[in-house]
Amino acid sequence: MIIVGFFETFAAGWIYGIDRQIASLGLAPVLTYMLANFGSIALGCGIWFGVSGDDAVWGGFVGMILFYLAGIAVTMFLLKRKMDAEPGKWTWSTIIWEISFKNVVDLTDRIKPVIGYYPFIWNLLVKQFIPHILLILFVNLAQSDNGSGKPIIGH
């Protein structure tokens, strides 16, 4: 169920409206933003659950943060090039809004007539928090001991 929840929140927060995001911003910034978010989680999980020792937790956090910052730096570089290519169309706030929340806000605007009021925190959680946490929980579960000293998945 954890992986199903991940795919549902990933679809709602990241895949819905991706075609419009790519048309608006280009493929490279959208993919580097996704890679920064989920590549950092993959690196952190790889260190947390793949490296033994007391420093694996700190190493995972350091690796995750450095990977995320490098990915965001590349994304911002690509967004700056987009801003320079279309002068006057974008400001930093509008282009960051476009890549960070536009698609999930479009989804909530589409379903708002059915569900009524929703707090903005839902957008933040579905896009920037829940898929990441569910991915970490899935990897943690997959690496859990099955009672015979082997991980549940992949032994």
Give tens-digit pLDDT for 1-21. Answer: 999 999 999 999 999 999 999
Q: Residue 23's domain spans which residues?
A: 8-141
Report how far Cα 72 is from the mean position of its chain's Cα atoms.
11
Tell me what percent of the residues of the chain surpass a pLDDT of 70.
97
Taking residues 99-126, report their average pLDDT: 93
pLDDT score of 49: 85
Residue 149 placed within a domain: no
pLDDT score of 21: 96
Residue 19 placed within a domain: yes
Q: Where are the alpha helices (DSSP H) in the chain?
A: 2-10, 18-25, 27-50, 56-85, 92-100, 102-115, 121-128, 130-142
Residue 148 placed within a domain: no
- Say how far apart CA 43 and CA 55 lie, in whole Å: 15
Q: How many domains does the chain have?
A: 1
Flag whether the pTM goes above 0.85: yes
- Say how far apart CA 25 and CA 102 lie, in whole Å: 12
Residue-wise pLDDT for 40-59, tens only, equals 999 999 999 888 888 889 99
Tokens encoding 60: 């995972």
Residue 31 placed within a domain: yes
